[in-house]
Amino acid sequence: MLWRSGVLLTAIIRSHVGRRGQSFGPARCLGPARENELDVKVEVAALLDEVLGLQGRSAQFDAETPLIGSLPELDSMAAVAVLTSLEERFGFMIEDDDIDGSTFATFGSLVGFVEGKLAV
Q: What letter would DSSP give residue 22? A: S
What is the spatial distance between Cα 107 and Cα 44, in angstroms, rounded to a whole number?
A: 9
Chain centre to alpha carbon of residue 112: 10
Instruction: Look at residue 8 in the predicted model and tell me its pLDDT.
Output: 53
Check residues 75 and 26 and name the one with the higher pLDDT: 75
Q: What is the mean pLDDT of the chain?
A: 80
Side-chain-side CA neighbours of residue 16 (13 Å): 19
- From the candidate CATH numbers 3.90.1150.10, 1.10.1200.10, 1.20.1740.10, 2.30.110.10, the one assigned to the domain spanning 2-119: 1.10.1200.10
- What is the distance between the terminal CA atoms of the chain, rounded to a whole angstrom? 33
What is the spatial distance between Cα 118 and Cα 83, in angstroms, rounded to a whole number?
A: 14
